[in-house]
Chain A
Amino acid sequence: AQSVTQPDIHITVSEGASLELRCNYSYGATPYLFWYVQSPGQGLQLLLKYFSGDTLVQGIKGFEAEFKRSQSSFNLRKPSVHWSDAAEYFCAVGASSGYALNFGKGTSLLVTP
């Protein structure tokens, strides 16, 4: 079965600084990988996804993620963080033949002035 690890529970960055959120997955075949963002008290919004093809994936709100098979990673990046990016970020993994996704425990992002 597939699983996801997000090593960082909390991350604090200054507004305007670059951001990288880590995600490592465990899955025997080629995974389907996702990043979601959750603002307090709300549902999850899809930022981006990787199914196949180009390993650098562009998403909404200026985010991108890179799939690295050799490292079993799918890290999320943004070159310049805005205060509105403060939220909880979840990495998730799925299978082409499966239905539900397995989520990491999330990384809480705090943006300081």
Chain B
Amino acid sequence: SQTIHQWPATLVQPVGSPLSLECTVEGTSNPNLYWYRQAAGRGLQLLFYSVGIGQISSEVPQNLSASRPQDRQFILSSKKLLLSDSGFYLCAWSQGSGNTIYFGEGSWLTVV
């Protein structure tokens, strides 16, 4: 069966510091991968998605970037964090187009 893991689960970082959140999927090949951010009262915002290695689509202009160095690995990064980057970040995957998206456990980021 397929599983998705993301880490770290919780992170407290000072303003201006770098960020790296990592996500891996097991039990499938060539998945579509996603990063969503969830801020209180604002639902889920799609940040990035990827349909293959090195293929990244950005949905909103922001301080963050994403990379997909391997088929089942998706990384969310920032060179310099802002206070507004605080939130709950969710990695997710799906297979093919128009299919169900499955979520990881989430990562809490607090920028102080």
Looking at chain A's contact residues, the main secondary structure is loop
Interface hits, B41-66 → A, CB 8 Å = 41-44, 46, 49, 51, 59
Q: Please tell me if the beta carbons of B49 and A46 are within 8 angstroms of each other in the complex.
A: no
**CA of A105 to CA of B44 in the docked complex: distance in angstroms?**
7
Q: Please tell me if the beta carbons of B94 and A103 are within 8 angstroms of each other in the complex.
A: no
- Can you spell out 11 A-B residue pairs with CB atoms less than 8 angstroms apart? A34-B101, A43-B103, A43-B104, A44-B103, A46-B100, A95-B98, A96-B97, A98-B97, A100-B34, A100-B59, A105-B43
Tell me the A residues contacting B by CB distance below 8 Å.
9, 32, 34, 36, 41-46, 49, 51, 90, 92, 94-106
Extra 15 A-B pairs, beta carbons < 8 Å, given A9-B41, A99-B34, A99-B94: A34-B100, A42-B105, A42-B106, A43-B90, A43-B103, A43-B106, A46-B102, A92-B101, A95-B98, A97-B97, A97-B98, A99-B97, A101-B101, A102-B46, A103-B43
Tell me the B residues contacting A by CB distance below 8 Å.
32, 34, 36, 41-44, 46, 49, 51, 59, 90, 94, 97-98, 100-106, 108
